[in-house]
Amino acid sequence: MTRTPLRQRRIPALVALAAATLTASLGISIASVLLPRLTATYAASIAEVQWVVLGYLMSITAAIVPAGRMGDIIGHRRMLIFGLAVFTCASALCGASPSLGWLIIWRGVQGLAGAILIALPMSIARDLMPKRQLGMAMGLLGTMSALGTALGPSAGGLVVAAAGWQLAFHLLALTSGATLVLAVVFVRPAPHEAGHDVSSLDLPGTVFLAIAVAVYALATSGNAGGFPVGPKILIPLAALCIILFLAIERRAAAPLVPVGLLLTGATGAALLMNLFVGTIMMSTLVIGPFFLAFHLGLDDAEIGLVLAIGPVIGAIAGLPAGRLTDWLGAGRTTLIALIHMTFGLLCLALFPRMIGLGGYVLAMAILTPSFQLFLAANNTAVLAAAASRQRGLLSGLLGLSRNLGLMSGASVMSALFVTYLGAASVEQVAPADIAFAFSATFTTAAGLAAVTLVIAIVSHGQHRHGTATT
């Protein structure tokens, strides 16, 4: 008798968590299509308006671990509601910004709230769902993230054409406001959410981690936004901040990120694999357009349609990936996902060069489900074994490792493509050379996926051995 009412309470709560994830994803993707209109509205340069996107991404990446940790301290539900309220207000203020400077400031605030909307739904889902259904919940959240990525550019373009860029932010405010109502009504506090003193937050560690991540984000942006200091200075500075952060954490009474947690075999391996897969995922977004434009000769509209195939397939694959994780177990599903990913990347390296556009679409259709399968399984593996007091932190670390991978993929994989190309400008080389560089880059990406698979095999073997020993 109690199972049906309990399940009925879970469903609307899960809808609220999915809506929060979708909102944060839309916040990332919808702004990119607004940039041309913003240059005209504010008579600004491309480098200046790029901060509308960079400011949001940097805020999310810098704040995602502290956001998860704050959820552990004051309660996941309280923190999610706070994040939705701030996101709603910041979105409305973005739409009412009198200048580009104010728009960038409010986008930064929106990003801080977006970090909460990315980190907390996973930890709340872990409290909400039984272990046997956790994969399904992770798959649903993955579906919403991919759906937001797919919908953002198209929805933003339609809104800009119909009513101006301000309406895009007002619609974001309405979406997050509706999600706030859902969260207040349907998301219940977990039994362990008593709330603790905020002073227990490791402020020095939080500051140094945020600085390190922000500096690394600038270093990997390729001087986007006209920032005057280049990667040669920023990357060593980010490394120095990380060293100082680890030194602080070793001495902190209540560290933001316990160093021992990172060195734990299963958790450390999962975060490293998450970073590698994020790098691979971004390579499909940053390298694909060059092949489509300069080898196949597609125009901007056609490239946009082709690039939307991946997120659409990802949105479709999310729930089945979660259900497969529940059925086979997170460890086995991770191995299957990485084998699938390696094969899909080899297809992407070969099919487009052999068949053309049809080969590209076919390869992406083969490859993309492996991303959702990995994310559902890896997130489930980390959170299923997490202690209640560390679930928000681990959700934040999963988000951080993925974002660092995406940033690394944007810079490292682009640099690798240019190296294989043998020229700084893609316009200077023949289409055949572009095809070669494309194939070589994704063959290398397949090698990275194979390395990730080895890590998964070793970690899975150690976990099974430890379980058998105990």
pLDDT at 1: 39
pLDDT at 210: 84
Ordered mean pLDDT values, 10 residues apiece, the chain (470 residues): 55 90 86 77 78 85 87 89 96 92 93 92 84 84 79 69 82 94 88 58 82 81 63 82 85 78 77 92 83 82 77 85 90 94 96 92 94 91 78 85 83 84 72 90 96 90 51
Q: Is 370 exposed, middle or buried (0-12, 13-18, 19+ CB in 10 A)?
A: buried
Are the C-beta atoms of residues 26 and 152 closer than 8 Å to each other?
Answer: yes
Strands (E), 209-284: none
Sign, Cα dihedral of 403, 319, 127, 12: positive
Phi, psi of 211 (to 5 degrees): -65, -45
pLDDT at 470: 37
Q: Domains of the chain by range and CATH?
A: 1-188 (1.20.1250.20), 202-255 (no CATH), 258-470 (1.20.1250.20)
pLDDT at 295: 87
pLDDT at 438: 92
Q: Calculate helix-pair angle for 391-408, 51-74, nearest 10 degrees.
A: 160
How far apart are alpha carbons 306 and 304 in whole angstroms? Answer: 6
pLDDT at 165: 84
Cα diameter, the chain: 70
The structure tokens listed for 184 are 């207040």
pLDDT at 335: 95
pLDDT at 367: 95
How far apart are alpha carbons 14 and 310 in whole angstroms? Answer: 25
